[in-house]
Chain A
Amino acid sequence: DQQVKQNSPSLSVQEGRISILNCDYTNSMFDYFLWYKKYPAEGPTFLISISSIKDKNEDGRFTVFLNKSAKHLSLHIVPSQPGDSAVYFCAASEGLRSGSARQLTFGSGTQLTVLP
């Protein structure tokens, strides 16, 4: 069973509007979450992250929200730009507090298309 789920395979948004990408997880031991962006023919690139001690992290146009009780995180992009069109993966890891070696578990990705 997938521990990290992105239930929307695709999302289309008009340029200038807000894009909201969602991610749910089932493993309550996850304590660090990341978003990656992937363009065709390229590897995923790190976008933004959040630890479980926070509920929001912002970096420019990108904000990640974490709702631990609902085991849900979301990525907001405001304003959306055509160059944001890509596949977005959320990922999670556990063991933050112990400092032990950690692996990333990825969701299946959401294709975002920003329409001009």
Chain B
Amino acid sequence: DADVTQTPRNRITKTGKRIMLECSQTKGHDRMYWYRQDPGLGLRLIYYSFDVKDINKGEISDGYSVSRQAQAKFSLSLESAIPNQTALYFCATSDPTGVGTDTQYFGPGTRLTVL
């Protein structure tokens, strides 16, 4: 079974709709992240959470919100989807034990299309 899972894997929605993307992990990591990938731009950080009570904005948080329901679950919401939020979304986790251990483990991604 995958350590980091994302649901749904694909979603097509319309402008103005509320969308929630979910991420679950069985790695036991405290830190979780949401990224989006756009062609030619790599991965950009939307939000991150270092524990259940800690939520931080990333580089491109406008138009998004998150919820850390438990150590293992981190959800990303688009309150009112717009077409330029069409992208590939990735959830990731990390466990920063020791020095330099920024290694993040990614889920398989959610392809979101906003019409």
Assess the B109–A32 pair: CB atoms within 8 A. no
Assess the A51–B108 pair: CB atoms within 8 A. no
Chain B positions 75 through 101: 1 when the CB is less than 8 Å from some CB of chain A, otherwise 0: 000000000000000101000100110
Assess the B100–A96 pair: CB atoms within 8 A. yes
Assess the A44–B43 pair: CB atoms within 8 A. yes
Q: Is B45 an interface residue, CB under 8 A from the partner? A: yes
Determine the chain A residues whose CB is within 8 A of the CB of B102 once the complex forms.
32, 34, 49, 93, 102, 104
Contacts A96-B100, A99-B99, A101-B96 given; does A89 touch B42 at CB 8 Å: yes
Give the size range of B's interface with the partner: 20 to 34
Q: Is A106 an interface residue, CB under 8 A from the partner? A: yes
Docked CA distance A43–B96 (Å): 20
Question: Nearest chain A CB to B56's CB is how many angstroms away?
Answer: 8
Q: Is A74 an interface residue, CB under 8 A from the partner? A: no
The interface of chain B, by Cβ under 8 A from chain A, is: 4, 35, 40-45, 48, 50, 58, 90, 92, 96, 99-100, 102-109
Beyond A42-B108, A44-B106, A104-B104, 14 additional contacts (C-beta under 8 Å) are: A6-B42, A9-B40, A43-B107, A46-B104, A46-B105, A49-B103, A99-B99, A102-B96, A102-B102, A103-B45, A106-B42, A106-B44, A108-B40, A109-B42
